[in-house]
Amino acid sequence: MSNYRKSTHLLKRPSRGWLVLSVALLLAGLAFLGAFGYSWYQYAKSSWYYAGLQQLAVAATGQNEASAENGVDFASLQAINPDTAAWLVMPGIDISLPVVQATDNEMYLHKGFDGSDSPEGCLFFGASGQEGDIYRVIYGHNLHTGSMFSGLLNYRDGEFYLQNPTFTLYTPDETQTYRIFSCHTATDMEDLYDTNRTAGEEYDAFLQRLSTISEYNTGVEVPSGAQVLTLSTCLTSYGSGLERYVVHAYRES
């Protein structure tokens, strides 16, 4: 009899507290999987959208979407978003994307090209600049998916730079070629984000300083009064902190 009682004691039902904890852990796990799945879907949807946009952008030329060498259909792009200002092509880091002119520096961090909510946002010119300025900044996210400006961090490798020293910016009026002359980390409080600049000795000294603080010597001499474009992204894909990674390039043609 004593053995029977011992065995039934060992087989008794789990306590109510254990059941509650198990259910709570199960629900938490399901919630996590649901949130992860939704986040993945949002990123995937944004990537699919931009892939389709590449096809639209060059539809008028009949060329492959990966190339914009023969022009960009800005009329179609501006019909979707009147803020469309340019199309940036950097083959080495798989960038072929629209650039919009922001009216503030927050909106396109969270809005896609079509204005819908998007974790990828959209590449945008800083709100304080305008077309024709001697110095401008393009902002873009650094994402764990590798999209947008994530690839800029490849320029931390001097060998990669040597293979990819230039990029192209297409505007409704012209094709602009830029040569990279400096790549480095920065903070978002530095004066390199001040686009209120005019040609002169002070501006040339500013460009010289940008060259000096590069992580490696590119060997590029920046002409006096050169038109410069700075590309900026967060140093990490989590977007925390003030650190940024920036690439400076001057216009060759």
Q: Catalytic residue among 141, 183, 184, 248, which?
A: 141
Question: Is 141 marked active-site?
Answer: yes
Structure-token pair, residue 14 = 């789990």
Rounded-to-integer distance, Cα 219 and Cα 179, Å: 11
Q: Catalytic residue among 122, 183, 234, 248, which?
A: 234
Rounded-to-integer distance, Cα 9 and Cα 253, Å: 86
Rounded-to-integer distance, Cα 192 and Cα 115, Å: 28
According to DSSP, the residues that pair with 97 across neighbouring strands are: 88
19 phi, psi to nearest 5 deg? -65, -45
Give the closest residue to 152 by CA, choosing from 101, 94, 215, 102: 94
Rounded-to-integer distance, Cα 12 and Cα 203, Å: 81
Question: Is 234 marked active-site?
Answer: yes
Task: Give me the amino acid identity at 186.
Answer: A
Contact 57, 99 (CB under 8 A): no
Active site residues: 141, 234
